Amino acid sequence: MPATVRIPTSLRTLTDGSASVEVQPGKLTQLLDDLALRYPDLGARLLEDGKPRRFVNIFVAEDDIRFLDGVDTPVNDGQVVTILPAVAGG
Amino acid sequence: MTQNYRDLVAAAKLEIREIEPVDLENRLGEVTVLDIREADEFEQGAIPGAVFAPRGLLESSVGAHLKLHDQEVVLYCAGGARSALAAKTLQDMGYTNVWSLEGGFTRWKRDGLPWKTPETLTSDQRARYSRHILLPELGEEGQVELLESKVLLIGAGGLGSPAAIYLAAAGVGTIGIVDFDVVDASNLQRQVLHNLDRLGQSKVESARETLTALNPDVKVEPHNVRLSADNVLEILAGYDVIVDGGDNFPTRYLVNDASLHLKTPVVHGSIFRFEGQVSVFDPYVGPCYRCQYPEPPPPELAPSCAEAGVLGVLPGIIGSIQAVETIKLILGIGETLVGRLLTYDALTQEFLNLRIRRDPGCPACGDESRPPRIVEYDATCAYPGSVTRS
């Protein structure tokens, strides 16, 4: 069963409009590489030397990866990865 | 056989327990104290912490005051007679730890024990806020707390509009609003504080008109200025809660920095197209805005609502949740969004409850004795360094 990555509205122009992308479970870093391969523009936006940029928050299930194992956090079958940049509108 | 009042009280006293005033004073804060007198008696002075629960409604209202039948409760009236009868009634209802205050409030005062004049509502206010007062979590005391509270809204726009309207309706006594903009026709698709008659008028003035028409109890403090490094501390000082509904990153980081100086909680809301985020940043208790977002996205990834559009109802949802969190913070009830980031997607109708944490290495809030320097941010919002708390 694949894992799912949720793409926020502000980045969907980089995924041809897709709101979520299915990926193979594994370490988060592999998932992100996989995502970057399929959507190179998204990869360039999100990652710097394979690591998430500082404006990007990534959650595996409901936890921030900064407080798990970072990009080494395992993502299991059926789990959801949420990519969340800050938005400013009010 | 007939019984007069004296007989009834004497009979009740045989079946109930009484507590001496000094013994109750030693246990204030541990036991529930119900003042069963009439409103006019309660208003002239009461035992600190006592809950107003007039005897006429006691049987129906007691469930709201006592969660458990074995909860310890002391009833008092003026002289100890009515409370003896009421204690007997509660025992008959199955409450097992009921006492009546010996000699009542008269004896309490005569013994030199502390009492205070409670802040109470007018009869108009009792009518207006009756649905709040019915809630055990609020009651009349909670409503008084709301009326005495001061909330500052950053922005009278999409998020500020519903937040302001619901907070004013709820009876938050002082609502400050910071906005330097004027009402434009393109605002009316979502900014429900304003209307067609107010085009060109300052948003804070338009907001003041709407809110005072809705609830004359509310004092509106308009701040018709752009929030800046020069005025942010002065404007935010004195408010109990800040509701951040700003529309740009520099202001959000500035508000965060000032809140760390003042130790004032910020109820954060932000929106983009169909998505919103809400959290509560309570300084040095939970994460701050910079813990969660060390830096903003590059401008091309974070267009404003003016550039990218926004569903008009979306700020209605997010701003209303901000109003809920504000009221919970004021009253100290429930579980706030401290340490949680709630996200909402209007297209999928999904809420996510994400766990967020205080970052011990956060440059802004990592060291409580060194809050951020207050500076004017540019688009990068780069951390400006700290100062030593004075």
A52 within a domain of the structure (yes/no): yes
CB–CB contact B302 A10 (8 Å): yes
Band of residue B307 on the pLDDT scale cut at 50, 70, 90: confident
A38 within a domain of the structure (yes/no): yes
A12 within a domain of the structure (yes/no): yes
How many structural domains is chain A composed of?
Answer: 1
- The percentage of residues in chain B with a pLDDT greater than 70, rounded to a whole number, is 100
For the segment B112-136, what is each residue's pLDDT rounded down to a tens digit?
A: 999 998 888 999 999 999 999 999 8
Please give the Cα distance from B379 to B248 (Å, whole number). Answer: 9
**Cβ of residue A17 closer than 8 Å to a chain B Cβ:** no
Please give the Cα distance from B242 to B255 (Å, whole number). Answer: 9
**Cβ of residue B159 closer than 8 Å to a chain A Cβ:** yes
**Cβ of residue B158 closer than 8 Å to a chain A Cβ:** yes
Given this model, what pLDDT does residue A47 score? 87
Domain span at residue A10 reads 3-85
Measure CB to CB from residue B301 to each of A57, A85, A90 and give the nearest one.
A85
A23 within a domain of the structure (yes/no): yes
CB–CB contact A90 B301 (8 Å): no
Per residue, the 3-state secondary structure of B183-197, as one string, reads CCHHHCCCCCCCCHH
Given this model, what pLDDT does residue B191 score? 98
The DSSP element (H or E) to which B18 belongs, if any, is: strand B17-19
For the segment B140-191, what is each residue's pLDDT rounded down to a tens digit?
A: 889 999 999 999 999 999 999 999 999 999 999 999 999 999 999 999 999 9
Q: For residue A55, give the CATH number of its domain.
A: 3.10.20.30
Please give the Cα distance from B274 to B59 (Å, whole number). Answer: 49
The DSSP element (H or E) to which B105 belongs, if any, is: helix B104-110
Question: Is A42:A21 a contact under the CB 8 Å cutoff?
Answer: no
CB < 8 Å to A90, chain B: 154-155, 157-160, 244-247, 269-271, 305, 315
Residue B304 has pLDDT above 90, yes or no: no
CB < 8 Å to A81, chain B: none
- DSSP letter string, B266-307: EEEEEEEBTEEEEEEE-TTTS--HHHH-SSPPPGGGS--HHH
Question: Is B51:B58 a contact under the CB 8 Å cutoff?
Answer: no
CB < 8 Å to A64, chain B: 354-357
Average pLDDT over residues B312-341: 98
Average pLDDT in chain B: 95
Average pLDDT over residues B231-236: 98
Measure CB to CB from residue A90 to each of B158, B273, B295 and give the nearest one.
B158
CB–CB contact B301 A59 (8 Å): no
Q: What SS3 state is found at B354?
A: strand
Backbone region of residue B349 per phi and psi (left: phi > 0; alpha: psi in -120 to 50; beta: other values): left
Band of residue A49 on the pLDDT scale cut at 50, 70, 90: confident
A34 within a domain of the structure (yes/no): yes
Min mean pLDDT across B77-91, B107-121, B271-285, B332-346 is at B107-121
Measure CB to CB from residue B275 to each of A9, A54, A59 and give the nearest one.
A9
CB–CB contact B310 A57 (8 Å): no
CB–CB contact A62 B298 (8 Å): no
CB < 8 Å to A70, chain B: none
A90 within a domain of the structure (yes/no): no
For the segment B258-270, what is each residue's pLDDT rounded down to a tens digit?
A: 999 999 999 999 9
pTM summary value: 0.82
CB–CB contact A89 B277 (8 Å): no
CB–CB contact B274 A9 (8 Å): yes
Measure CB to CB from residue B246 to each of A56, A66, A90 and give the nearest one.
A90
ipTM attached to this prediction: 0.93
A47 CB neighbour count, 10 Å cutoff: 18
Residue B14 has pLDDT above 90, yes or no: yes
**CA quadruple A24, A29, A30, A31: dihedral sign:** positive
- DSSP letter string, B137-187: TTHHHHHHHHHH-EEEEE-SSTTHHHHHHHHHHHT-SEEEEE---B--GGG
Residue of A nearest to B300 (CA): A10
A60 within a domain of the structure (yes/no): yes
Residue B380 has pLDDT above 80, yes or no: yes
Given this model, what pLDDT does residue B64 score? 85
Report which of B77, B302, B304 is spatially closest to residue A84, judged by C-alpha positions: B302
Given this model, what pLDDT does residue B346 score? 94
Between residues 43 and 62 of chain A, which touch chain B (CB distance below 8 Å)? 45, 54-57, 59, 62
A19 within a domain of the structure (yes/no): yes
Residue B31 has pLDDT above 80, yes or no: yes
Q: What SS3 state is found at B311?
A: coil
Measure CB to CB from residue A55 to each of B154, B248, B296 and give the nearest one.
B296
